């Protein structure tokens, strides 16, 4: 089977994530105001569809990877599973002991997938670096890191704008704007590093 | 494990990308094998040996670790 090129994979993931953000902003809020239970379920679960597509893309990519790439994927997924398990267990014990209050549905469950993905990406990048890859893949055929971070920053900025102007949810808008600013800083860092490396590589 | 993959590749005038394409692996994997950061599996070692028309023992030899 042909190996999926990184560029195609990233393009598909980015399109799916853009659709996810649009669905989250336009379709998902309808679930709160719809009285019909089946329509409510449909609206609430619609944003899952592009995420399922992303998971399928990831599975395809891992399946088509070579043995070293599969090893780094395994290390990343193993570490991500361990981190999520430990964090869940710690928070669960603290919540049962009434040391802290956790809103299970809206806070804890929604954060499991992002924490899993962030840990997986970070550890996989670290593992790839140990085997001699750049880790950030700036020298490969893939999308440079500063572009990836810029796109994610714009997505969070759009969520903040939507939360502020459409939902009048200042808390959500502030949070999304803060996340966007943090990711934008990372994009600037990777952009400067990318430029310096390109500049140094010129004869 | 030490190996002579880089020397064999360069003797044929191939880039790491060329060798990666012939072995159906990524360029990073070829680089990791050449720098002894990764020891290939037995099937991949056989593919490398077959490509260079040598035995596995001629290409790979036990190292310090």
Q: What is the pLDDT of residues A33-82, one digit of tens each?
A: 888 899 999 999 999 999 999 999 999 989 989 999 999 999 999 999 99
- Cβ-nearest to B29 among A69, A130, A140: A69
CB contact under 8 A, B29 and A130: no
pLDDT at A203 over 70: no
**Lowest mean pLDDT: which of A6-10, A44-48, A106-110, A119-123?**
A106-110
Q: Which pLDDT band, with edges at 50, 70 and 90, does A193 fall under?
A: confident
Q: Residue A107's pLDDT band (boundaries 50, 70, 90)?
A: low
pTM, two decimal places? 0.74
| Nearest alpha carbon to residue A120 among A191, A72, A164 | A72
Indicate whether B45 pLDDT > 60: yes
Please tell me which residue, A17 or B32, carries the higher pLDDT value.
B32
Which tokens in the block code for residue A79? 């570490």
Contacts of A133 in chain B (CB under 8 A): 28, 31-32
Distance CA A49, CA A77 (A): 22
Residue pair B19/B8 in contact (Cβ under 8 Å)? The answer is no
Q: What is the DSSP string of chain B?
A: -EE-HHHHHHHTT--HHHHHHHHTS-HHHHHHHHTTSSPPPHHHHHHHHHHTTS-HHHHEE----
Joined tokens for residue A133: 């890859």
Q: What ipTM score was computed for the predicted complex, to two decimals?
A: 0.86
pLDDT band at A105 (very low <50, low <70, confident <90, very high): low
Q: How far are the Cα atoms of A141, A145, A186, A198 from residue A191, in angstroms, in the given order?
A: 16, 8, 8, 11
Q: How far apart are CA B27 and CA B59, in angstroms?
A: 19
Average pLDDT, stretch A133-145?
62
- For chain A, give the percent of residues with pLDDT over 90: 24
Question: Which of A4, A66, A75 should be substituted to probe chain B, the one whose Cβ sees the most B Cβ atoms within 10 Å?
Answer: A66
Measured between CA atoms, the residue of chain B closest to residue A72 is: B29
User: B2: which strand partners?
Assistant: B61
Burial A17-55 (b: 16+ CB within 10 A, else e): bebbbebbbeebbebeeeeeeeeeeebeebbeebbebbe
Rounded to a whole number of angstroms, the distance from the CA of B62 to the nearest CA of chain A is 19
Q: With a cut of 90, say whether residue B43 has pLDDT above it.
A: yes
Cβ B29–A140 below 8 Å, yes or no? no
CB-based contact, A125 to chain B, within 8 Å? no
| pLDDT of A1 over the 50 cut | no
Give the pLDDT of residue A9: 85
Give me the mean pLDDT over the A87-107 stretch.
Answer: 81
Residue B57 has pLDDT above 50, yes or no: yes
What residues of chain B have any CB closer than 8 angstroms to a CB in chain A? 24-29, 31-32, 35, 37-38, 40-41, 44
């Amino acid at each position: 089977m042909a190996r999926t090129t990184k560029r195609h994979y990233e393009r598909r993931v980015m399109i799916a994530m853009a659709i996810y953000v649009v669905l989250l902003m336009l379709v998902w809020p309808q679930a709160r105001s719809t009285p019909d239970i089946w329509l409510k379920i449909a609206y609430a679960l619609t944003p899952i569809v592009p995420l399922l597509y992303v998971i399928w893309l990831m599975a395809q990519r891992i399946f088509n990877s070579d043995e070293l790439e599969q090893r780094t994927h395994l290390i990343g997924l193993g570490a991500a599973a361990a981190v999520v398990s430990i964090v869940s267990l710690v928070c669960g014990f603290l919540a049962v002991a009434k040391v802290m209050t956790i809103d299970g549905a809206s806070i804890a469950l929604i954060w499991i997938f992002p924490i899993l993905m962030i840990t997986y990406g970070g550890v996989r990048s670290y593992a790839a670096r140990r085997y001699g890859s750049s880790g950030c893949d700036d020298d490969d055929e893939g999308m440079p890191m500063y572009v990836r971070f810029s796109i994610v920053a714009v997505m969070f900025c759009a969520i903040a704008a939507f939360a502020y102007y459409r939902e009048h949810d200042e808390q959500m808008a502030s949070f999304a704007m803060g996340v966007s600013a943090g990711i934008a800083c990372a994009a600037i860092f990777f952009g400067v590093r990318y430029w310096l490396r390109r500049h140094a590589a010129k004869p | 494990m030490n190996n002579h993959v880089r020397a064999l590749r360069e003797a044929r005038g191939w880039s790491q990308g060329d060798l990666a394409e012939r072995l159906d692996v990524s360029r990073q994997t070829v680089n990791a094998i050449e720098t002894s950061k990764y020891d290939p599996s037995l099937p991949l070692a056989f593919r490398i040996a077959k490509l260079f028309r040598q035995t596995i023992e001629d290409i790979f030899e036990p190292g310090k670790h």
